[in-house]
Chains A and B, each alone.
Chain A
Amino acid sequence: MNDEYQKDLASIRSMMERSVKFMSLSGLSGVLAGGYALVGAYLAYLIMYYPSAPVGYEKLSIANHPSQITRLAFIAFVILAASLVTGFFLSWLKAKRIRQSLWNETSRLLLVDLIITLGTGGLFVLILFIRGYYSLLAPCLLIFYGLALIHCSRHTFAEIKYLGFIEIMLGLISSFYPEYGLVTWTIGFGLMHIIYGAVMYFRHER
């Protein structure tokens, strides 16, 4: 009898956990997104700094070369789109493997949280761009992305929260030292995604 009660309690815990958390998020797609970001960062380096070192703001920043910003934004959009497509595809595969649908209550909750945070960040950065605060574009995207991750972590794997803290830290550093904009992006969107994606992959997908 006691055993049955224990099982009841265990099943309550598991139902509560599984009903709020989206488990199909693919770690492998994080690794790939990080890889795309590194390629993007290299292209951005060619546009902004080549052949100098990839730091500096006063002489070489996009603020002083407004025409470059279109090209940089284009690269960023292509990378973002490629990452999203990869993320959707690999999560769809993972959902199939763990016999869940990609579109269910948990993914809906996750998506709502993402749209609210990243939507706000996207609009804010667009406003900064229109008003000419170029040096704040890169840091703000990192900060909003970090906040989005922390906010969304309640609806998926909890580790995402710590990735969020790291992104915020990088964002704050690069808003103080705009000359490290490209470096912080390379770390935040490239390196950290690869590391975190790999951790998630080994923890939850194998």
Chain B
Amino acid sequence: MKSPFDQLDKTLEHRVRLQIMSILMANESYDFNSLKEIVGITDGSLATHIKALEKEKYILTKKSFVDRKPNTRYKATELGRKIFKTHIDALERLISLQKR
């Protein structure tokens, strides 16, 4: 059996990225400003983490205009969902291993 350490995802080891992914797991899609409000970080910092997740193809970006204002929404991809699940399974196993 593989060690749970190997199943932890490098990109998701950063807590903000993990938080963004959890929001996108619980919701079909989410917009930039609402993400910022819940995670509680600055525009620039959020944009950087989103780019990192995009690069790994864990999330998709959809840009549109609402009342001529740009509105950017994000969505978790199938790959992102799978990696996220594997990652938290590994977290849970690590915790239970160390409890013993």
Interface residues, chain A, CB within 8 Å of chain B?
1-2, 5-9, 11-12, 15-16, 18-20, 100-101, 104-106, 109
Contact = CB atoms under 8 A, between A and B. Distances in A.
B33 interface: yes
B98 interface: yes
Contacts of A7: 15
B34 A105 contact: yes
Q: At the interface, is chain A mostly helix, strand, loop or mixed? A: helix
Contacts of A104: 33-34, 37
B33 to A, nearest CB: 7
Given A12-B88, A19-B27, A20-B27, A5 B94 contact: yes
B41 interface: no
B1 interface: no
Count chain A CB atoms within 10 A of each CB in B30, B34, B39, B94 and give the residue with the most: B34
18 contacts: A1-B98, A2-B94, A7-B15, A8-B18, A9-B92, A12-B88, A15-B26, A15-B39, A16-B23, A16-B26, A19-B23, A19-B26, A19-B34, A20-B27, A100-B37, A104-B33, A104-B34, A104-B37
A164 B37 CA distance: 30
A101 B33 CA distance: 10
B22 A15 contact: yes
Contacts of B22: 11-12, 15-16, 19
A11 B18 contact: yes
Given A9-B91, A9-B92, A109-B27, 15 more contacts: A1-B98, A2-B94, A2-B95, A5-B94, A5-B95, A7-B15, A8-B91, A11-B15, A12-B18, A12-B19, A12-B22, A16-B25, A16-B26, A18-B38, A104-B34
